[in-house]
Amino acid sequence: MVIIIYAKKLFGAIIYRNLYSCSTSDICNSSPVWEFFNKSPRRVKLHICDSYSKVHLALEQESQGRPRENVPYRKQAKHENTYEAVGSFCHKNSICTKPTKFILCTVLNSCAKTVNWQLGLQIHAYMVQSGHEENLFLSSALVDFYAKCDAIMDARKVFDEMKVRDQVSWTSFIVGLSQNRQRRDALSMFKEMLGSQIKPNCFTYVGVITASAGLKEAFELGLSLHSHVIKFGFNTNSFVVSSLIDCYAKWGSIGHAVLLFDEIHERDVILYNSMISGYSQNLCGKGALKLFMEMRNKNLSPTDYTFTSILNACGSLTVLFQGRQVHSLVIKMGSERNVFVNSALIDMYSKCGDVNGSCCIFDQTCEKNNVLWTSMITAYAQSGRGSDALKLFEHLLTEEGFVPDHICFTAVLTACNHAGLLDKGIEYFNKMRTTYGLFPDVDQCACLVDLFARNGELRKAKDLMEKMPYDPNYVMLSSFLSSCNIHGEVELGREAAKQLIQLNPCNDAPYLILAHIYARSGLWTEVAEVRKLIQQRGIRNHSGWSWVEVDRAVMSS
DNA sequence: TTAGGGTTAG
């Protein structure tokens, strides 16, 4: 109807595509426009078959409101209202001869921000048709558009074909890779950029620091990025600093994050949010609460991000009174409809022992989603109400069309653990793969190991640890060792303790639990050996496990 | 006319 991509006898086939006659999903599911461009760009003909005013009308119908034609299109695009921006774009072009590269760029920018795939494709098509294909600004905007629409392969094609690149095009692609969960590729691309003529700017550093956040192997790179930031004077840029704070916090280096935060005197809300979230992630709840108070004293309004992090901190500290105060503030600030905040509230109330509070939040939330449902199942599971958790889970599966993910299954298996339902737990664990196509990750395996171990099925727990494609982690082995102690399993306990000591040689718990296991079985020589080993290695008592019971057993023997 | 920071469940 409006723009037809029409290629005659292309590789012997007649290919006809009418973008406007297709729905967005049709276009997404059809062969990409790229196929035409790549095979024979010059043979592809794009015809504008109708006036842009018809586009205007079509979009107007979709947008459920008339575009405000008196507002400049550029300003509208900045306000992230594609329909209005496009409305102005179309209106302008129904009276002009053709859209300029500036207009195309602005509309493409708006398409990227609002993920308007259909229109963005047409702008790309028009770029080819109108000879703007190699324009640096438009190509950069196109890279950004494809990346924001999760079409990173298309973004890469645009980027690779660019003859000239600048800081923006490099940064757009690096950030695009990062946002498309290809963070390692983003870091590689940054290294490639360093070898080019184009030098990174603060935008690039924000992108690459964000990409390296949470990647353990990128810690060294993170340190050198921090050095670069200082060297080039970006260490006062709040965007750069907040990304660095987040990075250090995710690496567990909360001290580095605090040093960075303290160096900034003009702190905006996002900097506070980064630091509060950093404290919260590193279980420094008191630091988070202190900073939250400081933020309030400076009359900075908390955002949904602030509430989510501070509620998380309240939950970790199990401070119900402060949690309720934050809840009041959430209502006052109008954040009670945010799904992140509500999930955090459910979590906070359950961790503070008030699972009825969690139920109230859950019931009052109108628009529930998978995250919220999982939060409530987790709240029940962690509060020892395993049967309620399973009841809710089954209800959601049958009544709400709920599709559980890995995290939900962790909650469900935890619930089975609390309810002592071994068979049910095995059934859900198997259903993960057979019904939902989810391969259990280390967390669900840990739940099942725990379930087996608590029910005295230590050999099955051991088999699972050996067969699963992950190394058993510390929590899993600790739980297994505790069960070995309860059920008096000497050989399995000895092996688990050995693995735990290898993972963390400074922790006294595995030694002491092993001593308890030996004492229960009357293996006094082995008890003495463990005691000697602890002394030789200078291991201090931190865990809370003591020798009192072991000594009592030795004495009574 | 193009690019950037902070949030949830185990």
What tens digit of pLDDT does each residue of A401-422 get?
889 999 999 999 999 998 889 9
Q: Where are the alpha helices (DSSP H) in A421-523?
A: 422-434, 442-454, 458-467, 474-487, 490-503, 509-520
Confidence (pLDDT) at A47: 25
pLDDT, position A193:
95
Is the predicted pLDDT of residue A87 greater than 60, yes or no? no
**Is any atom of nucleic acid chain B found less than 7 Å from the CB of residue A305?**
yes
Q: In Å, what is the CA distance from A195 to each residue of A189, A287, A522?
A: 10, 41, 67
Q: Does the pLDDT at position A473 exceed 50?
A: yes
Tell me, what's the pLDDT at A92? 52
- Residue A81: pLDDT over 60: no
Residues 221-260 of A with CB under 7 A from strand B: 237-243, 246
User: Which value, to the nearest 10 degrees, does the dihedral of the CA atoms of residues A195, A201, A205, A207 take?
Assistant: -100
The pLDDT assigned to A128 comes to: 87
Cβ of residue A213 near strand B, that is under 7 Å? yes
pLDDT of residue A401: 86
CB of residue A416 closer than 7 A to nucleic acid strand B? no
Q: Which two tokens stand for residue A83?
A: 């329909």
Averaged confidence pLDDT in chain A: 82
Distance from residue A295 (CA) to nucleotide B6 (C1'), in Å? 14
Domain boundaries, chain A: 1-161, 165-251, 473-557
Q: How far is CA A318 from CA A239, A313, A353, A455, in A?
A: 32, 8, 8, 29
Q: Can you tell me the mean pLDDT for A494-518?
A: 91
Contact A250, A217 (CB under 8 A): no
Per-residue pLDDT of A163-180, as tens digits, reads 999 999 999 999 999 999
Q: How far apart (Å, rounded) are the C-alpha atoms in residues A310 and A324?
A: 12
Average of pLDDT values for A290-310?
95
* High-pLDDT (> 70) share of chain A, %: 82
- Tell me which residue of A25, A108, A20 sits closest to A59, measured CA to CA: A20
A204-229 pLDDT tens trace = 999 999 999 978 888 888 999 999 99
Q: Indicate yes or no: strand B within 7 A of the C-beta of A100.
A: no
- Does any strand B atom come closer than 7 Å to the Cβ of A358? no
Please report which confidence band the pLDDT of residue A65 belongs to, taking 50, 70 and 90 as the band edges. Answer: very low
Identify the residues numbered 136 to 165 in chain A whose C-beta atom is closer than 7 Å to any atom of strand B: 136-138, 140-141, 144
**Strand B, CB < 7 A, residues 267-296 of A:** 268-271, 273-274, 277, 280-281
Minimum-distance residue to B1 (CA–C1')? A102
In tens, the pLDDT along A109-159 reads 989 988 888 888 888 988 888 889 999 999 999 999 999 999 999 999 999
Using the predicted structure, report yes or no on whether residue A451 has a pLDDT greater than 50: yes
